[in-house]
């Protein structure tokens, strides 16, 4: 997978900023389920500005799939943008974190 021209390797972390109608629609809990299904590690949380933020790590194919999933999210979500940045961290599970 390439992000801004850089190849993502196993163990690379990506930070996602997801905007649109993404709060109050089950986005975090749906992402936890999808990430765990794909073997992704990291976290997801809502932000006070109305967005959702996530840190995802895993096999490149799985990371590709969770980024694509985030572009639509759960049924009631209306995603307008997903920005992808290099991230950092090492995680053992994928969890929902409190709002920041």
User: What are the residue ranges spanned by the domains of the chain?
Assistant: 16-91
**Residue of 72, 90, 93, 74 whose CA lies nearest to 82:** 72
Q: At 68, which helix (H) or strand (E)? A: helix 60-70
∠ CA 45-66-68, rounded to 5°: 110
pTM of structure: 0.87
Is residue 44's pLDDT more than 50? yes
User: Check: CATH 3.30.450.20 for 16-91?
Assistant: no
- Give the least confident one: 22-26, 39-43, 58-62, 72-76: 58-62
∠ CA 17-69-3, rounded to 5°: 55
List pLDDT tens digits, range 49-91.
999 999 999 988 999 999 999 999 999 999 999 999 999 888 9
Query: CB of 70 within 8 A of CB of 16?
Result: yes
Q: How far apart are CA 67 and CA 35, in angstroms?
A: 10
């Amino acid at each position: 997978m390439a992000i801004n021209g850089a190849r993502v390797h196993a163990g690379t972390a990506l930070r996602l900023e997801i905007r649109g109608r993404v709060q109050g629609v089950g986005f975090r809990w749906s992402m936890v389920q999808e990430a765990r299904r794909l073997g992704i590690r990291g976290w997801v949380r809502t932000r006070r500005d109305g967005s959702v933020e996530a840190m995802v790590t895993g096999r490149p194919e799985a990371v590709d799939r969770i980024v694509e999933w985030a572009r639509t999210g759960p049924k009631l979500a209306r995603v307008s943008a997903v920005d992808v940045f290099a991230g950092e961290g090492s995680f053992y599970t994928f969890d929902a974190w409190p709002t920041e």
